[in-house]
Amino acid sequence: MTIVEDNRHLRGALLPILHALQEEFGYIDEQAIPLLATELNLSRADVHGVVSFYHEFRREKPGRHIIKVCRAEACQSMGANALVDHVKKRLQVDFHGTTADGAFTLEPVFCLGNCALSPAVMIDENLHGRVSPDRFDALAAETRANPTAHQQIPRALSHKDSHKGHAQ
Amino acid sequence: MSGHLITVFVPRDSAALSVGADAVAAAIRAEAARRDLPLRIVRNGSRGMLYLEPLVEVETADGRVAYGPVTPADVPGLFDAGFLTGGDHALGHGLTEEIPYFKKQERLTFARCGIIDPLSVEDYRAHGGFRGLENALAMSQAEIVKAVTDSGLRGRGGAGFPTGIKWNTVMQAKADEKFVCCNADEGDSGTFADRMIIEGDPFCLIEGMTIAAIAVGATSGYVYMRSEYPHATATLRHAIKLAYDEGWLGDNIHGTNRTFHLDVRVGAGAYICGEETAMLESLEGKRGMVRAKPPLPALEGLFGKPTVVNNVLSLCSVPIILDKGGDYYRDFGVGRSRGTLPFQLAGNIRNGGIVEKAFGITLHELLYDFGGGTITGRPIRAVQVGGPLGAYLPPSQFDLPKDYEAFAAQEAMVGHGGIVVFDDSVDMAQQARFAMEFCVAESCGKCTPCRIGSTRGMETLDKIIAGKNVDANLELLADLCDVMVDGSLCAMGGMTPYPVRSAVKHFPEDFRKKQHAVRVTHIAAE
């Protein structure tokens, strides 16, 4: 519950807390909902309502890596629908599914802000542009073989280290 | 060049990273070490010519020389060609600022993006940064609001509401606390300007928000970021920390009695949170449900307090207005659309990227003079302007000037300046169906026409696409669109019909493909 303690001072603390929980555990466990309700003096329905409203919050443990394939218009114009079909077939999962070996969870996303270099895919926090089916296969193989090869955002710059000077 | 440390720029913008900028930077560093050539690598933002990314630049006596798109495999060849002194190479483009795509632009908001080190306060200052804020600190609240009003700046998020009028309402509101909130929930497909400026010039946003806060008397602010933008979020958090360290944020800003505290909050993948009242609900830690207006957020916004809600590009346009004056900014543009807009060329376009131009430029100029047509080499059949809620336009309308009023007259939106290009392989009935499908996924559920209508719209389009009772179903669809437009609180339900109606209007043949096919089969059978 240190996550709650770290964020309790924030106004509108529920979303930051849910993000921190998901970053730590990969998903929001059902057991967290009554706990958060008690801690933040909210009803369980309030917490459940928020968790279920936002696409980003997962309710089940995901694979080791999250693959997000953009489905929005700019990517569609460059063959995103065919890429989606290829990815599903290659990973043998549908959207929100996890591969049998637990390596990947596949999620749809509407726009990654890389619309001039479509189609776009995000693997964990790394954005990839002009992703053809072949390039997707290479990226997936590389991630599976050597997960640390991908440059990650330094945690020092993540929200845990951000300025908290104005707790009110 | 002995004794002079050569500077090489390799962008850290997400789009550049998405096509391998980190690997290029590493390859340059390794090759320089191998050749024992000392150099300094600056990770800048993007110049906005995304079709050239990763765009490597070298500082020379004549200016910065550009090479791109560079892959790690190109790096030894670039060294052989003497790129560190601007040598010729097949990937060379000469001086960056002489590249026509760049040279023809009017960069006001993006003036520093791609030029400076985004996380250097010193660099920001050296390129005119914080001059607007310094001026604002010496002005009265009313004077700041007047400068913004005089500039003619209108909300760059899509609605185009005059920024100065909004600020004036918040300034005049009486309250014990006020807020400035930046809407950085850039969810429209085809838009990436917010992301690029936050990654390439984050202090510009911090400065714009601080000026807004001083103008209206707010002491706290939030930037509402998208969870899909982790790099931009990390860059902004870092920049905010640096701004606190250097006294540009916090209590007693630079020795004055002004105070402004700024924090970042991250959304969670809900498109609707780009609507300002849904964003406020989300910032309060709730479901992103749209609020009815009135009360206006300017009077009862975040936590019920008077709140300025502005888009990233609106706030990033403020520093230059306070630096150079409202008149300077107003001198760009046409009619009631003043200043510049960073247009974003996206989708199936040869030269995709940011084109910042004064209002009044036509789609044709943007698509062909800058964009160079499609990347597939096929003719452009349709463009969607203003995001997923904007109309699809056919080539016959490409002479339309980019101006809020001219576009509104066509049920199109200038919106956030995004332009998504499709070639002639597009099926417009499928695009219309997608507009409804997107609304099904992203409606907050508050208004019935949006929540239920979108599902019924998708089903009706499925029938039309399958060739079932096409005439009757098109009529039903038109009726449904009217109900959604008239019966929804916000643009989600109120504008989802725009892409649908425009697709039906301009590309009717796509809605009768199956019907024709069925008929042809019948005739053949007879």
Separation CA B27–CA B71 (nearest Å): 9
Are residues A105 and A71 part of one domain? Answer: yes
Q: Which residue of B has its CA nearest to A22?
A: B268
Comparing A47 with A167, the larger pLDDT belongs to A47
The residues near A130 (Cβ < 8 Å, ≥ 6 apart) are A117, A118, A119, B18, B19
**Consecutive H or E run containing B429:** helix B428-442
Q: Are the C-beta atoms of residues B346 and B192 closer than 8 Å to each other?
A: yes
Which one-letter DSSP state was computed for residue B309? E
Whether the bond into A108 is cis, omega within 30 of 0: no
Give the separation between CA B33 and CA B39, rounded to whole angstroms. 9
Number of domains in chain A: 2
Residue-wise pLDDT for B260-290, tens only, equals 999 999 999 999 999 999 999 999 999 999 9
What is the pLDDT averaged over residues B20-39? 97
- Percent above pLDDT 70 for chain A: 86
Query: For residue B15, which residues of chain A lie inside 8 Å, CB to CB?
Result: 113-114, 116-117, 127, 129
Question: Around A134, how many Cα atoms within 13 Å sit in the side-chain half-sphere?
Answer: 0
Distance from C-alpha of B402 to C-alpha of B340, rounded to nearest angstrom: 10
Which of A59, A79, A96 is where one domain is finished? A59
pLDDT at A149: 44
Name chain B contacts of A116, Cβ cutoff 8 Å: 15, 50-51, 192, 344-346, 349, 352-353
User: Could B347 and A74 be called an inter-chain contact, meaning their C-beta atoms sit closer than 8 Å?
Assistant: yes
Greater confidence, B419 or B403?
Answer: B419
ipTM, 2 dp: 0.94
Quick check: helix, strand or coil at residue B346? Answer: strand
> Would you call A112 and B434 a contact, using CB atoms and an 8 Å cutoff?
no
Mean pLDDT of B407-415: 78
* Backbone φ and ψ of A99, nearest 5°: -65, 155
Q: Residue B431 is encoded by which pair of tokens?
A: 């695009």
DSSP class of residue A142 equals: H
Q: Tell me the C-alpha distance between B176 and B173, whole Å.
A: 10
Closest-CA residue of B relative to A124 is: B230
Mean pLDDT of A117-133: 97
Q: Are residues A35 and A111 in the same domain?
A: no
DSSP state, residue B367: I
CA atoms of B313 and B327, how far apart (whole Å) = 19
Q: What is the pTM of this model?
A: 0.94
B246 pLDDT band, cuts 50/70/90, is: very high
Q: Which of A11, A32, A59 is the last residue of a domain?
A: A59
**A70 and A49, same structural domain?**
no
Query: Does A76 lie in the same domain as A14?
Result: no
A143-163 pLDDT, tens per residue?
998 755 444 443 333 443 344
The answer to whether residue A156 is domain-embedded is no
Neighbours of B82 (CB within 10 A): 12
Q: How many C-beta atoms surround the C-beta of residue A77 within 10 A?
A: 30
Same domain, yes or no: A94 and A50: no
Q: Are B263 and B221 in contact (CB under 8 A)?
A: yes
Asked whether B169 and B218 are in contact (CB, 8 A), the reply is: no
Domain-located, residue A157: no
Task: Give φ, ψ of A45 to 5 degrees.
Answer: -65, -40
Bigger pLDDT: B470 or A153?
A: B470
Reading the block at residue B357, the tokens are 């131009």
Is it the case that residue B132 has pLDDT exceeding 70?
yes
Q: Are residues A97 and A52 in the same domain?
A: no
Tell me the pLDDT band of B523, cut-offs 50, 70 and 90. Answer: low
**Which pLDDT tens digit goes with each residue over A51-77?**
999 999 999 999 999 999 999 999 999
Which residue does chain A place closest to B423, by CA atoms?
A77
- Same domain? For A43 and A77 the reply is no
- The residue of chain A with its CA nearest to that of B433 is A73
Q: What are phi and psi of B418, to 5 degrees?
A: -85, 140
Look over chain B and give the mean of its residue pLDDT values, rounded to a whole number: 95
Residue B524: pLDDT band (50, 70, 90) is low
Instruction: List the CATH number of the domain containing A116.
Output: 3.40.30.10
The residue with greater pLDDT, A56 or B409, is A56
Q: What average pLDDT does range B339-367 have in this prediction?
A: 95
Q: Which domains can be identified in chain B, with CATH numbers?
A: 6-103 (3.40.30.10), 121-331 (3.40.50.11540), 334-423 (3.10.20.600), 428-514 (1.20.1440.230)
Structure confidence by residue, pLDDT tens digits, A70-118 = 999 999 999 999 999 999 999 999 999 999 999 999 999 999 999 999 9
The CATH number linked to A39 is: 1.10.10.1590
CA distances (Å), B59 to each of A141, B5, B23, in order?
38, 10, 20
Residue A8 structure tokens: 């309790």
The verdict on A99 and A50 lying in the same domain is: no
The pLDDT value given to residue A162: 41
| pLDDT over 50 (residue B504) | yes
Residue A79 lies in a domain: yes
CB contact under 8 A, B230 and A153: yes
Flag whether residue A50 sits within 8 Å of chain B, measured between CB atoms.
yes
Contacts of A47 (CB under 8 A, 6+ apart): A14, A33, A34, A36, A37, A40
Q: Which residues contact B488 (CB under 8 A, 6 or more apart)?
A: B447, B449, B450, B494
Q: How confident is the model at residue A168 (pLDDT cuts 50, 70, 90)?
A: very low
- Assess whether A41 and A82 both reside in one domain: no
Residue A20 lies in a domain: yes
Query: Domain range holding A132?
Result: 65-149
Statement to judge: residues A81 and A48 lie in one domain: no
The whole-number pLDDT of residue B148 equals 97
Indicate the residue of B189, B267, B288 with minimum beta-carbon distance to A72.
Answer: B189
Per-residue pLDDT of B108-124, as tens digits, reads 999 999 999 999 999 99
Identify whether residues A73 and A125 lie together within a single domain: yes
The DSSP letter of residue B272 is G
Calculate how close chain A gets to B253, using CA atoms only, in Å: 14
Locate the DSSP E strands across B353-496.
353-358, 380-385, 392-393, 418-423
Tell me, rounded to whole angstroms, the distance of Cα A25 from its chain centroid: 12
Minimal CA separation from A92 to chain B, in Å: 24
Task: Using CB atoms, pick whichever of A50, A162, A168 lies closest to residue B287.
Answer: A50
Same domain flag for A54 and A69: no
